[in-house]
Chains A and B, each alone.
Chain A
Amino acid sequence: MKATVLVRPKQGILDPQGQAVESSLRQLGFSVGGARIGRVVDLDVDAADAAAARAEVERMCEQLLANPLIESYEIELAEPQA
């Protein structure tokens, strides 16, 4: 089953990369604010069903993919094939 993990800097955590990108975008003439930079991890998970896959990916996030002190994560599972 395909899963995607989105890892983001938590609210209120300084994100200098996001700030630098935001200022570059402004220099290009775009009117933007609030740029934040995170990370996307695409995975193929070997699991019996969606619930098991989600539980497995949760464990991956807790153990490795995100640092809970500064990052939050979201898990998206691909719709099961008919």
Chain B
Amino acid sequence: MTSPQPRIGVVRFPGACDDRDALWALSALDAEALFVWHTETELPDLDAVVLPGGFSYGDYLRCGAIARFAPAMEAVVEFASAGGLVLGICNGFQILCEAGLLPGVLRRNESLSFVCRDVPVLVERSDTPFTTRCEEGRVLTIPVKHGEGNWYADDELYAELEARRQIVLRYREPVNGSLDEVAGVVNERGNVMGLMPHPEHAVDPLLGSADGALILSSLVESARERALAAV
């Protein structure tokens, strides 16, 4: 029996720039990936949603602050509330934080410089739907490219997140000033994750690393399981 391809929507905001890469990577990893325009008030029938990287609405006010109010985001919030899988990459992570779906906030890099390079990222958990194909303790090589990836939460919130093991990825070296080198977090329920590194830019060894495929194929597999369970 052939497994069905899970349907994964990639939301396109004005100013997104990694939407095509995300669509391509998900398709290459055997998902049926489709674009969702930001003005859509309802999502099509989907098994997962990806919010891609870029500079939605010119990063005006704060990164992600405007995209959060896009009609499609209301639908994404509803989808997430119903337990749907949502992955935010870079600007997508910023949007999820602004929307309150993920804890913390992403601030200007400590150096004030845009950082664009491969970075080592430690996987702290392999029991989230986004990391099942990774081993705990494994260090992935995935590129970052952002000016505002400096994740922050106050002491109280951070202690709660640590206690609930919501920090999923950490840089193995200083990258942007992020608190405790946090690179990716998951929500309490475990169905929404955001990360600053770009797994969609690391799905083929030709591009320097295929480690990003471990994260995206974890998502594809988790979405496939959900698609099968729903049949």
A-side interface residues toward B, CB under 8 Å? 13-14, 16-17, 20, 64-65, 67, 69-70
What is the distance, in angstroms, from A65's C-beta to the closest C-beta of chain B?
7
- Indicate which residue in B104, B110, B111, B177 contacts A69 across the interface (CB closer than 8 Å): B104
Who on chain B is nearest to A69 by CB? B105
What is the distance, in angstroms, from B187's C-beta to the closest C-beta of chain A?
16
Contact pattern, B 9-29, Cβ under 8 Å of A = 1, otherwise 0: 000000000000000000000
Contacts of B65 in A (CB 8 A): 64, 67
Determine whether the beta carbon of B112 is less than 8 Å from that of A69: no
What is the distance, in angstroms, from B155's C-beta to the closest C-beta of chain A?
10
20 new A-B contacts, CB < 8 A, other than A14-B110, A16-B110, A16-B112, are A13-B107, A13-B152, A14-B107, A14-B177, A16-B108, A16-B111, A17-B108, A17-B112, A20-B112, A64-B61, A64-B65, A65-B61, A67-B62, A67-B65, A67-B98, A67-B105, A69-B104, A69-B105, A70-B105, A70-B107
A16–B177 Cα distance when bound, in Å, is: 10
B228 contacts the other chain (CB 8 A): no
Determine whether the beta carbon of B154 is less than 8 Å from that of A69: yes
What is the distance, in angstroms, from B68's C-beta to the closest C-beta of chain A?
9
B116 contacts the other chain (CB 8 A): no
B159 contacts the other chain (CB 8 A): no
B-side interface residues toward A, CB under 8 Å? 61-62, 65, 69, 98, 104-105, 107-112, 152-154, 177
Contacts of B69 in A (CB 8 A): 64
Ordered by A's residue number, 14 sampled pairs between the chains whose C-beta atoms are within 8 Å are A13-B107, A13-B152, A14-B107, A14-B110, A16-B177, A20-B112, A64-B61, A64-B65, A65-B61, A67-B105, A69-B104, A69-B152, A70-B107, A70-B152
Who on chain A is nearest to B104 by CB? A69
What is the distance, in angstroms, from B177's C-beta to the closest C-beta of chain A?
7
A20–B108 Cα distance when bound, in Å, is: 12
Who on chain B is nearest to A41 by CB? B61
A64–B100 Cα distance when bound, in Å, is: 12
Return the 5 tightest CB-CB contacts between A and B, nearest first: A69-B105, A16-B112, A16-B110, A70-B105, A67-B105
Contacts of A13 in B (CB 8 A): 107, 152
A70–B107 Cα distance when bound, in Å, is: 9
